[in-house]
């Protein structure tokens, strides 16, 4: 059996068989989903303790990335390197100036240097993921606030991609009308195939970003299956707990070799490894039935990223790691 642990998705689907009958009963596909999407907004806002008037949906977090680039990125976009590859790809697609600030050899970032680059280049938008993709690290509140303050100083916008935030500790986010938060139901909610992305913004910024949203941004089946899941709070909490446990187990697995490879403590559903022996371990685990994410980019060729897997897979995964270690 081959476990594909390269995509940062959930370990299983949270959708029960009984949901499909409920979906059939409540879905009126010949009508536009006016009331249904408002129901989803209310459920999501309640669960996440958000003002309902500050959230909107689109077809995946990717669509919100594209939209914020269209609306706020015309004078240039600045981000980190490495980062979620779609930041670069959407900027290229839209032919927008794109500036990257590289990490050091330990994949850490100098935020004072980033401030200097912002002041020098004056991008209209700065975007990063927190927790960070691909490294899994959580940025310090003071560093995020520094970026927020600097972007406000030059009249720009700061976007935080939080699609992995439910795996991390709560933190004090920067606030202000120039801040936008992107989230998703693809990770901890287990709905990657349903494609539901969330934008959180305030005031005039909310009006600007939602102005270009579609009248019906989600189809009625996606809306209703998400509503059914969110309404089943006891099961959803149980499902999320199992995802948290899978993340905990994955981090623990690499403690056995953290003297041989570099492992960045993760606040996500994946673990990022690098160093002299990291690729060799990844290749060994592939032969053992665990397909991780390898990279072709020059700055990531010595890196391997592993996503969470079903809890029952960890004994074999840990055994394969132990077997690899014997060569040293």
Average pLDDT, the chain: 98
Cis amide linkage into residue 267, ω under 30° from 0: no
How far apart, in whole angstroms, are the C-alpha atoms of residue 140 and residue 142? 5
Q: Provide the pLDDT for residue 110.
A: 99
Kindly indicate whether the domain formed by 3-11+234-326 is annotated with CATH number 3.90.1150.10.
yes
The answer to whether residues 218 and 57 touch, using CB atoms and an 8 Å cutoff, is yes
DSSP 3-state of 119: helix
Can you state the angle between helices 61-72 and 203-211, rounded to 10 degrees?
110
How far apart, in whole angstroms, are the C-alpha atoms of residue 212 and residue 201? 14
CATH 3.40.640.10 residue ranges in the chain? 17-231
Top-level class of domain 17-231? alpha beta
Question: Which stretches of the chain are assigned E, i.e. beta strand?
Answer: 3-4, 55-58, 77-81, 98-102, 125-129, 157-161, 179-184, 197-200, 262-264, 270-274, 290-291, 293-294, 303-307
Strand partners, 101: 80
Q: Provide the pLDDT for residue 316.
A: 99
Q: Provide the pLDDT for residue 22.
A: 98
How sure is the predictor about 147, in pLDDT bands with cuts at 50, 70 and 90?
A: very high
Per-residue pLDDT tens digits for 60-110? 999 999 999 999 999 999 999 999 999 999 999 999 999 999 999 999 999
CATH 3.90.1150.10 residue ranges in the chain? 3-11+234-326
Instruction: Please state the rounded mean pLDDT for residues 278-293.
Output: 99
Per-residue pLDDT tens digits for 192-207? 999 999 999 999 999 9
How far apart, in whole angstroms, are the C-alpha atoms of residue 272 and residue 196? 26
In this prediction the pTM is 0.97
Per-residue pLDDT tens digits for 19-66? 999 999 999 999 999 999 999 999 999 999 999 999 999 999 999 999
Token reading at 153: 């100083």
């Amino acid at each position: 059996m081959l476990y594909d642990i390269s995509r940062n998705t959930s370990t299983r689907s949270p959708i029960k068989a009984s949901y499909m009958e409920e979906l059939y009963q409540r879905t009126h596909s010949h009508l536009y989903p006016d009331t249904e999407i408002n129901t989803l907004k209310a459920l999501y806002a309640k669960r996440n303790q958000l003002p309902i008037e500050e959230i909107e949906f689109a077809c995946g977090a990717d669509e919100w990335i594209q939209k914020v680039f269209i609306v706020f990125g015309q004078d240039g976009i600045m981000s980190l390197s490495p980062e979620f590859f779609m930041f670069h790809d959407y900027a290229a697609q839209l032919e927008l100036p794109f500036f990257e600030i590289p990490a050091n050899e330990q994949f850490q970032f100098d935020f004072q240097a980033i401030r200097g680059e912002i002041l020098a280049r004056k991008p209209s938008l700065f975007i990063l993921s927190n927790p960070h993709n691909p490294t899994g690290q959580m940025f310090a509140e003071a560093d995020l606030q520094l970026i927020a303050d600097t972007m406000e100083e030059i009249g720009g916008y700061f976007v935080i991609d939080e699609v992995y935030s439910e795996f991390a500790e709560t933190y004090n986010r920067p606030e202000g009308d120039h801040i936008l938060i992107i989230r998703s139901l693809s990770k901890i909610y287990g709905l990657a195939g349903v494609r539901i992305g969330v934008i959180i913004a305030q005031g005039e910024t909310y009006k600007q970003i939602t102005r270009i949203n579609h009248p019906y941004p989600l189809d009625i089946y996606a809306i209703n299956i998400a509503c059914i899941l969110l309404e089943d709070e006891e099961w959803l909490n149980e499902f999320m707990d199992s995802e948290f446990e899978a993340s905990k187990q994955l981090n623990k697995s690499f403690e056995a070799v953290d003297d041989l490879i570099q492992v960045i403590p993760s606040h996500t559903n994946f673990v990022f490894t690098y160093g002299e022996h990291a690729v060799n371990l990844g290749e060994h685990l592939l032969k053992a039935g665990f397909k991780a994410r390898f990279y072709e980019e020059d700055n990531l060729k010595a890196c391997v990223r592993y996503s969470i897997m079903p809890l029952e897979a960890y004994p074999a995964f840990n055994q394969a790691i132990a077997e690899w270690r014997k060569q040293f």
